[in-house]
Amino acid sequence: MNPKDLFLLSFEALVDRKVRTLLTILMVVLGCSLVVVLNGLSAGQSAFLEKQFNTLAANVLFVGSGQRSLSSFASSSSNSLIINDVILQKIKSLPNISDVIPEYTGSVQMNSQGNTQRASIVAIDPSKLTVELPNLDYVAGSTVNANDRASALVGDTIVNPPGSDSAFVVLGQTIKATSSYTDSSGKQTTVIKNFVVSGILKPSGNTMIDRSIIINLDAGNELLHKQNKYDQVIVAATTPDDVDTVQQEITAMFGKTLGATTPKAIMAVRQQAASGNAAFILMVGIIALVVGAVGIVTTLYNSVTERIREIGTMKAIGAQNTTILALFIVEASLIGIIGASLGVIIGIGGGYVMSIATTSSPMGGGGPSVHIPPIFALMDLIKVWFLSFTLSVIAGMYPAWKASKLSPMVALRRE
């Protein structure tokens, strides 16, 4: 029997059992698309994180109160040290350090010409920004002076909020920042400050900076009511090779009351978590595909039972065992091809939908949310397609073998 006739006979058999065929294809589609979605989101997340850390200078460390949590920049220990100017001086006194840059961080409500949005505030000596982010550049304007309490640099995502056609703010315009805090007596106090936009930053790739407003350290202290308690200190080692030494020195000096973390260490932990995630994702996806394969076994096995007289007739009119085997394998292959192809397409679409649905602020704090697009590498898609297809064919083998081995006389007798 030629391949075309074989294909047509198998195709007709599948069409004859439309609902069951569609449900089986659906199982393969679900398994395949799940693997594609999870792979795409995982790859997108990894690429996003890598991009974030690649924007940071190689010689910096982040120092914060208590043991640093690697999953966020917040301190997590009750046994933490408040970072103030005394602590800064102690850190500065350590060898192999070229600069120590304190910063306040927080979240405020921004108003500009009647429009409002939440934004992150980074209060730092603006002239030292390039120590942390060497590639920082401006769309318009320039950095503000260290003592200028009324000027601000604005990140790209604040200027051009996602989904908005017009700019939130332009160079030279005044923006109003509103922050509130609860004092020790439990009273809610609101602080309002106006800033003139003196610089608009180019997209840096660093989400924290792109969705922040950068202001002078003193202005930040007042606006966020920090009472001279810094949230974080960026320590610049003399050279990238000194980073580990500086980290050890800080740890030796402050113990667990201060935490010092390098971008490299954060990245390593992130990568480790990502590879753990990838293994988990692969396992979930394969389980989904195996469930799909079991569906194919069930469908084709039922099909063999239902078509037993047909198989007997085919054998009586001269079909070889291999022809019967091939008919069922082609049916399984068709289910695999259609299921895997739809699964890849739906998986790509689903990946984008999921990434939009899970748009969030990955670094914590306020400000515009971040959309991390999934990444679908062609080779990954081809691998998933072949995995789905191969599992479908393997699943079809047992029912096909069973059908091919039926005695024609026994098959013809079956009602």
Partner 1 sequence: MSSKRGLILKNMTKDLVVEKSAQNEIVDNSSFALQVENLSKIYDSTAGRVVALDKISFSIKKGEFVSIVGPSGSGKSTVLNMVGALDRPTSGKIYIDGIDIFSLNDSEIATMRNRRIGFIFQSFNLINRTTVHKNVKLPGIIAGMSSSDANYRALKILESLGIADKKNQKPVNLSGGQQQRVAIARSLINNPSIILADEPTGNLDTKTGEDVFDMLKMLSHKFKRTIIMVTHNPELAESTDRSILLKDGRIEKDVFN
By CB under 8 A, which span of 63-71, 80-88, 187-195, 310-318 interacts with partner 1? Answer: 310-318
Pick one of 1, 146, 192, 269: the residue that binds partner 1 (CB under 8 A). 1
Tell me if 7 contacts partner 1 by CB under 8 A.
no
Q: How far is the CB of 314 from partner 1 (least distance, A)?
A: 8
Pick one of 72, 93, 239, 320: the residue that binds partner 1 (CB under 8 A). 320
Touching partner 1, residues 379-408 (CB under 8 A): 407-408
Helix (H) or strand (E) holding 251, with range, is: helix 243-254
402's CB contacts (< 8 A; 6+ apart) are: 301, 304
By CB under 8 A, which span of 21-29, 177-185, 219-227, 314-322 interacts with partner 1? Answer: 314-322
**Residue 175 or 327 with smaller CB distance to partner 1:** 327
Pick one of 99, 218, 310, 380: the residue that binds partner 1 (CB under 8 A). 310
Pick one of 174, 323, 341, 359: the residue that binds partner 1 (CB under 8 A). 323
By CB under 8 A, which span of 86-94, 140-148, 318-326, 340-348 interacts with partner 1? Answer: 318-326
Tell me if 2 contacts partner 1 by CB under 8 A.
yes
Tell me if 228 contacts partner 1 by CB under 8 A.
no
CA distances for 129 relative to 136, 145, 316, angstroms: 8, 12, 84
Pick one of 12, 114, 165, 378: the residue that binds partner 1 (CB under 8 A). 12
CB 28 within 8 A of CB 388: yes
Q: 223: which 2 tokens?
A: 């606006």
| Number of residues counted as binding partner 1 (CB under 8 A) | 27
**Helix orientation angle between 85-92 and 243-254, rounded to the nearest 10 degrees:** 130
Separation CA 98–CA 238 (nearest Å): 5
| Cross-strand bridge partners of residue 182 | 188
Separation CA 289–CA 272 (nearest Å): 26
**Residue 348 or 412 with smaller CB distance to partner 1:** 412
171's CB contacts (< 8 A; 6+ apart) are: 140, 141, 197, 198, 199, 200
Tell me if 130 contacts partner 1 by CB under 8 A.
no
Separation CA 41–CA 37 (nearest Å): 6
Q: Angle at CA 348, nearest 5°, toward 293 and 341?
A: 45
Backbone angles phi, psi at 369, to 5 degrees: -75, 160
By CB under 8 A, which span of 4-12, 175-183, 184-192, 274-282 interacts with partner 1? Answer: 4-12
- Note the residues at the interface with partner 1 (CB under 8 A): 1-2, 4-5, 9, 12-13, 15-16, 309-310, 312-323, 407-409, 412
